[in-house]
């Protein structure tokens, strides 16, 4: 392939109706040349041979060597798609979307035809799809319907070194599939040299190494720790831009807010330079990338800049290994990333900023040496690198809430979770606490088995509390309302608040406010948009993100489909919105807080302080409610409750009896505490028994 017969070529051109099609054709040729330049191309034959001879293969190669985009196509070219789909899993949605698009271009087919992708709530595949990129979460969810994954011929588990929670669970599930289906192949790819661990996990699978081709990268450390790394990174980027001749810049930040702040500062600094400098200042193309950025803007990072224009990409750790942009010569590494961490004592997940690991720091630096020798500026000290950073990142499974995973494994008949084949088992405390939380929600019974509610919850691709809220909407007959709220909570905030028009946009938001409930405010926004025939210009006029609302509508449609398959009828409570508040309360009573100051609350169980956010509908409402439940706690400058709703204390006692009671006498309080403790101990004993039984079985 790639070679085009000259006569054919001429004939082909004749048939072309317009210029554009001709240039498309020319582009396709360069794409096939590009494919042949990738390191993986030089070992294509050997690689396919090893795959033919083995059922499980571990493939190791530098980032950018062509694993993600080429492996699936090689498998297709070698005939594996004749009787089944070749799937490739990604820990990140952005990567799944972007790579599928690239591969569809390389194969000259429409995205969603032969090549497609599926992420949660978005399925861009069709009956002809033979190469399917998907998030690891989606594939994990698919095992519910089809535990042997019969429609897949090969699964490429990409970016396995990231050790995402879903990847780790899938590794265990796929190990069983491999044992059950002789015709099934599994390829695990890793960008780092931790491949041996995967090899051992799969009982000595061969490791195939793609020869690397990288250039040396000079590392520069800060002399002293830096106070404000956003500011420091911006300064550094500008210095590089005005002192060096060529080469793009890549800055690593922790998340959307920082990235936006950095991009804003960069463009301001550039404007200043242009207006004050006597010499001509070269252009700088500033490009953000993070997971919530709309797809068309994400694609921009790959586009070639005009000649002589330098690109400066400001990214989360998505650019560490998942996405490769050629031409980067300078990396600025702030040394931090955002991670979801579960705190079992407080029973909550929090997205927090942590120092990265040494492995991650080296991955980041490596991004500068892909096309020629580069430089990496570490905005931390050498001492910090050596003594404060962990050698390797902690796998997600050991640091997050396992709620959904436990539901899923239980539904796959893995009764004893301590028995499941985890590459690195999660801490027992995490398992127990997550189980306890599921038990509190009513998804598990006293024996740790799935209840009817639990069975329904696992069918919904939602966090367990959100799934419960939806199902309580069924029971309390306000499903239509709750469905909209759950959909709105599943997309990024729809409120648009530009820095230079903060007051106008705040006033616009307040018009939607429903007193006492941010949840109902979200519902109100959606309803009004619906009344306006889902118009886009209406959104702009009211400072709402039209893309976010459209996404919420898609999520709603998808959830509606699932509810239909579960034969759950849609009901509505009409104007009696107290019922909706009760449904919310029934799923979020673990996040109940009691008023302590003016806008200050404390979590009823943990005593953790939590504040109303100034953007909340409850904020500045004359009198703030005594009790609220909130969707989640966000730690920024303070602990802020994200999305709060006022509740009655009797509801808490009625819906969360394991936590709350109506005070009558001291004895009843003591009794309550005692039962609660007994119940928790019973669960723990059950787990302990299971573990002992397992140990016994192993001895025999
Ligand atoms: P690996 O998975 O080994 O890190 P990839 O297959 O992702 O490598 O990338 C191979 C090459 O394809 C890289 O040079 C990268 O720049 C290019 N590439 C990947 N995605 C895109 C895209 N969306 N647009 C343009 N080029 C891309
Ligand atoms: Mg890759």
Residue 90 token pair:
């990604």
Supply the pLDDT for residue 56. Answer: 97
Is the per-residue pLDDT at 4 higher than 60?
A: no
Ligand nearest to the CA of 289: 1
Q: Ligand 1 center to residue 441 CA distance, Å?
A: 43
Q: Is residue 295 very low, low, confident or very high in pLDDT (cuts 50, 70, 90)? A: confident
- Taking residues 73-77, report their average pLDDT: 98
* Tens digit of each residue's pLDDT (9 = 90 or more) over 600-615: 999 998 888 999 998 9
Q: Is the pLDDT of residue 507 over 90?
A: yes
Asked whether residue 48 carries a pLDDT value surpassing 60, the answer given is yes
Q: What's the 323 CA to ligand 1 centre distance in angstroms?
A: 7
Lowest mean pLDDT among 22-31, 89-98, 213-222: 22-31
Residue nearest to atom 26 of ligand 1 (CA): 302
Pocket of ligand 1 (CB under 6 A): 38, 61, 63-70, 98-99, 101-102, 302, 324-326
Q: Ligand 1 pocket check: which of 27, 60, 64 to mutate, most ligand atoms within 8 Å of Cβ? A: 64
- Per-residue pLDDT at 508: 94
Beta strand 600-603 pairing with 609-612: antiparallel
Distance CA 335, CA 219 (A): 13
Residue 366 CB contacts under 8 Å (≥ 6 apart), including other chains: 62, 63, 214, 217
Return the ligand number nearest the Cα of 60: 1
Q: What is the ipTM of this complex?
A: 0.98
Q: pLDDT band at residue 487, thresholds of 50, 70 and 90? A: very high
Distance 327 CA to ligand 1 centre (A): 12
- If you measure from the C-alpha of residue 130 to the centroid of ligand 2, how many angstroms do you get, rounded to a whole number? 19
Provide the residue count of the chain: 700
Distance of alpha carbon 393 from alpha carbon 399, whole angstroms: 11
Res. 342: pLDDT tops 50: yes
pLDDT of 654 reads 92
Burial 307-324 (b: 16+ CB within 10 A, else e): eeebbbbbbbbbbbbbbb
Return the H-helix or E-strand segment holding 660: none
pLDDT band for position 302 (50/70/90)? confident
Percent of all residues in the chain with a pLDDT value above 70, rounded to a whole number: 89
Q: Which residues are paired to 218 by β-bridges? A: 375
- The CA distance from 659 to 604, in Å, is 9
Average confidence (pLDDT) over 337-348: 72
Mean pLDDT of 146-154: 95
Ligand nearest to the CA of 67: 1
Q: Which three-class secondary structure state does DSSP give residue 361?
A: helix
Confidence (pLDDT) at 554: 94
Q: Which residues pair with 190 in a beta bridge?
A: 60
Which residue among 68, 88, 95, 328 has the greatest number of ligand 1 atoms within 8 angstroms of its CB, and so is best to mutate? 68
Kindly indicate the confidence band of residue 296, based on its pLDDT and cuts at 50, 70 and 90: confident
CA of 360 to the centre of ligand 2 (A): 15
Angle (CA) 244 250 252, round 5°: 135
Buried b (16+ CB within 10 A) or exposed e, 204-219: ebebbebeebbeebeb
What residues pair up with 117 in beta bridges, in sequence order? 124, 133
Point out the ligand 1 atom lying closest to the alpha carbon of residue 101: 23
**Whole-angstrom distance, CA of residue 644 vs CA of residue 624:** 11
Residue 173 has pLDDT above 70, yes or no: yes
pLDDT for the residue 125 = 98
The rounded distance, in Å, linking the Cα atoms of 413 and 423 is: 19
Q: Which residues partner with 535 through β-bridges? A: none
Q: Which pLDDT band, with edges at 50, 70 and 90, does 692 fall under?
A: low
Higher pLDDT, 342 or 86: 86
Taking 60 as the threshold, does the pLDDT of residue 482 lie above it?
Answer: yes
Beta bridge partners of 609: 602
Q: Smallest Cα–Cα separation from 103: which of 125, 131, 75?
A: 131
Question: Pick the residue with more confidence: 126 or 394?
Answer: 126
Between the CA of 64 and the centroid of ligand 2 the distance, in Å, is 7
Q: State pLDDT tens for residues 314-334.
A: 999 888 888 888 899 999 999
pLDDT surpasses 90 at 347: no
The model's pLDDT over 662-682, given as tens digits with 9 standing for 90+, comes to 665 555 656 666 776 776 676
Continuous H helices in 400-545: 403-411, 428-441, 452-459, 464-475, 479-489, 502-510, 518-531, 536-541
**pLDDT (tens digit, 9 = 90+) per residue, 236-255?**
999 999 999 899 999 999 99
How high is the pLDDT of residue 10?
A: 40
453 vs 305, 440, 456, 459, 465, CA distance in Å? 53, 12, 5, 10, 12
Q: Where is 364: in which H helix or E strand?
A: helix 358-366
> Could you give the 3-state DSSP secondary structure of residue 171?
helix
Q: Is 376 helix (H, G, I), strand (E, B) or coil?
A: strand
Place of tokens 């193309």: 285
Q: Does the reported pTM lie above 0.90?
A: no
Q: What is the pLDDT of residue 667?
A: 58
Pick the residue whose CA is nearest to atom 22 on ligand 1: 102
pLDDT above 90 for 210: yes
Going by the DSSP 8-state scheme, the letter that residue 637 receives in this structure is S
373-390: pLDDT as tens digits: 999 999 999 999 999 999
Q: Which pairs with CB-CB distance under 8 Å and at least 24 residues apart come from 605-609?
A: 605/347, 605/659, 606/345, 606/346, 606/347, 608/346, 608/633, 608/639, 609/639
Q: What's the pLDDT at 341?
A: 81
For residue 166, give the 3-state DSSP assignment.
helix
* pLDDT of 5 strictly over 70: no
Q: Are 81 and 75 in contact (CB under 8 A)?
A: yes
Share the mean pLDDT of the chain. 88
DSSP assignment, residue 568? P
pLDDT(29) > 60 = no
- CA dist., res. 203 & res. 197, Å (int): 10
Q: Is 239 helix (H, G, I), strand (E, B) or coil?
A: helix
What band does 298 get if pLDDT is binned at 50, 70 and 90? confident
Which of residues 106 and 3 earns the better pLDDT score? 106
- pLDDT tens sequence across 449-479: 999 999 999 999 999 999 999 999 999 999 9
pLDDT band at 697 (very low <50, low <70, confident <90, very high): low
Å from CA of 70 to ligand 1 middle: 9
The side-by-side arrangement of strands in the sheet containing 56-60 is: 122-124, 115-119, 131-135, 85-90, 152-157, 185-190, 56-60, 207-209
Tell me how far apart the terminal alpha carbons of the chain are, to the nearest angstrom. 58
């Amino acid at each position: 392939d790639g070679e085009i017969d000259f006569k054919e070529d001429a004939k082909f051109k004749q048939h072309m109706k317009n210029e554009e099609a001709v240039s498309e054709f020319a582009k396709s040729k360069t794409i096939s040349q590009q494919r042949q330049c990738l390191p993986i191309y030089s070992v294509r034959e050997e690689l396919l041979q090893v795959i033919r001879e083995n059922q499980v293969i571990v493939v190791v190669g530098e980032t950018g060597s062509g694993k993600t985009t080429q492996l699936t196509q090689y498998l297709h070219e070698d005939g594996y798609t004749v009787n089944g789909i070749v799937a490739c899993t990604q820990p990140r949605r952005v990567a799944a979307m972007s790579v599928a698009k690239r591969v569809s271009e390389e194969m000259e087919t429409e995205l969603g035809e032969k090549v497609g992708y599926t992420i949660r709530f978005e399925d861009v595949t069709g009956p002809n799809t033979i190469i399917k990129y998907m998030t690891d979460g989606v594939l994990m969810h698919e095992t519910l319907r089809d535990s042997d994954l019969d429609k897949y011929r090969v699964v490429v588990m990409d970016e396995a070194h990231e050790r995402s929670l879903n990847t780790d669970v899938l590794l265990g599930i796929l190990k069983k599939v491999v044992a059950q289906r002789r015709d099934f192949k599994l390829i695990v790819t890793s960008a780092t040299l931790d491949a041996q661990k995967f090899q051992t996990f799969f009982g000595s699978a061969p490791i195939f190494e793609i020869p690397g081709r990288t250039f040396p990268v000079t590392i520069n450390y800060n002399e002293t720790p830096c106070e404000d790394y956003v500011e420091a990174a911006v300064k550094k980027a500008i210095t590089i831009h005005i002192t060096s001749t060529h080469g793009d810049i890549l800055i690593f930040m922790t998340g959307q807010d920082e990235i936006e702040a950095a991009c804003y500062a960069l463009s301001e600094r550039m404007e200043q330079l242009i207006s004050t400098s006597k010499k001509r200042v070269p252009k700088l193309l500033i490009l953000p990338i993070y997971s919530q950025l709309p797809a068309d803007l994400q694609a921009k990072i790959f586009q070639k800049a005009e000649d002589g224009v330098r690109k400066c990409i400001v990214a989360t750790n998505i650019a560490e290994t998942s996405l490769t942009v050629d031409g980067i010569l300078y990396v600025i590494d702030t040394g931090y990333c955002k991670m979801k961490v579960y705190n079992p004592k407080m029973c909550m997940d929090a997205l927090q900023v942590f120092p990265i690991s040494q492995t991650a720091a080296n991955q980041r630096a490596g991004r500068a040496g892909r096309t020629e020798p580069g430089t990496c500026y570490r905005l931390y000290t050498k001492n910090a690198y050596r003594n404060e950073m962990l050698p390797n990142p902690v796998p997600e499974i050991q640091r997050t809430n396992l709620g959904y995973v436990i539901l899923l494994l239980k539904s796959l008949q893995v009764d004893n979770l301590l028995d499941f084949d985890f590459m690195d088992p999660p801490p027992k405390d995490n398992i127990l606490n997550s189980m306890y939380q599921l038990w509190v929600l009513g998804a598990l019974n006293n024996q740790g088995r799935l209840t009817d509610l639990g069975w329904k919850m696992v069918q919904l691709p939602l966090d367990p509390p959100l799934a419960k809220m939806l199902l309580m909407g069924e029971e309390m007959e306000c499903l239509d309302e709750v469905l909209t709220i759950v959909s709105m909570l599943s997309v990024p905030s729809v409120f648009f608040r530009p820095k230079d028009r903060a007051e106008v946009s705040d006033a616009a938001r307040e018009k939607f406010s429903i007193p006492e409930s941010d949840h109902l405010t979200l519902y109100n926004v959606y309803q009004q948009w619906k009344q306006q025939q889902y118009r886009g210009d209406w959104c702009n006029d009211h400072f709402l993100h039209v893309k976010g609302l459209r996404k919420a509508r898609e999520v709603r449609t998808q959830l509606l489909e699932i509810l239909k398959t579960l034969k759950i009828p849609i009901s509505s409570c009409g104007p009696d919105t107290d019922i909706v508040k009760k449904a919310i309360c029934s799923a979020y009573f673990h996040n109940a807080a009691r008023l302590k100051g003016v806008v200050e609350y404390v979590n009823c169980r943990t005593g953790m302080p939590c504040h109303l956010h100034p953007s909340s509908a409850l904020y500045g409402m004359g009198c703030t409610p005594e009790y609220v439940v909130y969707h989640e706690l966000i730690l920024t400058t303070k602990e802020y409750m994200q999305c709060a709703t006022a509740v009655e204390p009797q509801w808490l006692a009625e819906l969360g009896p394991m936590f709350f009671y109506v005070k009558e006498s001291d004895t009843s309080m003591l009794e309550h505490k005692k039962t609660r403790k007994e119940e928790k101990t019973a669960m723990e004993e059950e787990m302990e028994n299971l573990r002992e039984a397992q140990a016994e079985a192993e001895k025999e």
